[in-house]
Structure 1
Amino acid sequence: MRKSNHLIGVVNFITFLLSIPILGGGIWLSSRANNSDCLKFLQWPIIIIGAAIMVVSLAGFAGACYRNTFLMWLYQFVMFFIVAALVGFIIFAYAVTDKGSGRPVPNRAYKDYYLQDYSGWLEERVTDQSYWSKISSCIRDSKVCAKMRRTVDGVPETADMFYNRRLNPVESGCCKPPTECGFSYVNETTWTAGVTANPDCTKWSNDQEQLCYNCDSCKAGVLASLKKSWRKVSVINIVVLIILVIFYVVGCAAFRNNRRIDNDEAYGEARMTKAKPSLIHI
Structure 2
Amino acid sequence: MGMGTSTFVIRWINFLTMLLAVAVIIFGVWMSTHHDGCRRSLTLPVLGLGGFIFVVSIVGFLGALKKNSILLWIYLILLFIILIAILVFTVLAFIVTNSGSGHTVAGLRYKEYQLKDYSSWFLKQLNNTNNWKRLKTCLVKSDDCNNLANKYKTLKSYKSAKLTPIESGCCRPPSECGYPAVNASYYDLSFHPISSNKDCKLYRNSRSIKCYNCASCKAGVAQYMKTEWRVVAIFNVALFVILSIIYFVGCCARRNAAGNHLKA
TM-score range, shorter chain: 0.7 to 0.9
- Please give the residue correspondences for 1:37-52 in structure 2 after superposition, counting only pairs within 5 Å: 44=45, 48=48, 51-52=51-52
Q: Give CA deviations for 1:102-139 in whole Å, capped at 9, x if unaligned.
A: 11111111110111111222221111111111111110
Corresponding residue of 1:80: 80
Corresponding residue of 1:200: 199
1:252 aligned onto 2:257:
no
Q: Give CA deviations for 1:197-254 in whole Å, capped at 9, x if unaligned.
A: 2111111112222110100000001111111112112211210110110120122023
Q: Given that residues 16 and 53 in structure 1 are in contact (C-alpha distance below 8 angstroms), is that contact kept between their aligned partners in structure 2? A: no
Corresponding residue of 2:132: 132
Corresponding residue of 2:163: 167
1:144 aligned onto 2:144:
yes
Q: Give CA deviations for 1:241-276 in whole Å, capped at 9, x if unaligned.
A: 10110120122023212312332x24xxxxxxxxxx
Aligned length: 247
Q: Give CA deviations for 1:65-123 in whole Å, capped at 9, x if unaligned.
A: 12233321210121111111111111122222221121111111111011111122222
Corresponding residue of 1:223: 222
Corresponding residue of 2:154: 157
Q: Given that residues 203 and 211 in structure 2 are in contact (C-alpha distance below 8 angstroms), is that contact kept between their aligned partners in structure 1? A: yes
* Cα distance change of structure 1 residues 261 and 93 upon mapping to structure 2, 3 Å threshold: same
Alpha-carbon separation, structure 1, partners of 2:109 and 2:183: 17
- Please report how far the alpha carbon of residue 18 of structure 1 lies from its aligned counterpart in structure 2 after TM superposition: 6.6
Corresponding residue of 2:64: 64
Q: Given that residues 5 and 67 in structure 1 are in contact (C-alpha distance below 8 angstroms), is that contact kept between their aligned partners in structure 2? A: no
* Cα distance change of structure 1 residues 94 and 50 upon mapping to structure 2, 3 Å threshold: farther
Range that drifts further, 63-72 or 213-222: 63-72
Alpha-carbon separation, structure 2, partners of 1:5 and 1:178: 65
Say which one has the larger Rg: 1
Corresponding residue of 1:191: 187
Corresponding residue of 2:234: 235
Alpha-carbon separation, structure 1, partners of 2:98 and 2:47: 22
SS in 2 for 1:7: helix
Corresponding residue of 1:117: 117
| Aligned residue identity for 1:242 | V
Corresponding residue of 1:277: none
- CA RMSD, aligned part only? 2.9
* Cα distance change of structure 1 residues 117 and 59 upon mapping to structure 2, 3 Å threshold: same
Percent of residue pairs bearing the same amino acid type: 34
* Cα distance change of structure 1 residues 6 and 59 upon mapping to structure 2, 3 Å threshold: farther
Give the alignment partner of residue 182 of structure 1, picking from 170, 178, 186: 178
Q: Given that residues 69 and 254 in structure 2 are in contact (C-alpha distance below 8 angstroms), is that contact kept between their aligned partners in structure 1? A: no
TM-score where L is the length of structure 2: 0.82
- Please report how far the alpha carbon of residue 16 of structure 1 lies from its aligned counterpart in structure 2 after TM superposition: 6.1
**Structure 2: tracts of 5 or more residues without a match:** 32-37
Alpha-carbon separation, structure 2, partners of 1:151 and 1:242: 42
Alpha-carbon separation, structure 1, partners of 2:94 and 2:55: 27
Alpha-carbon separation, structure 2, partners of 1:50 and 1:95: 27
SS in 1 for 2:199: helix
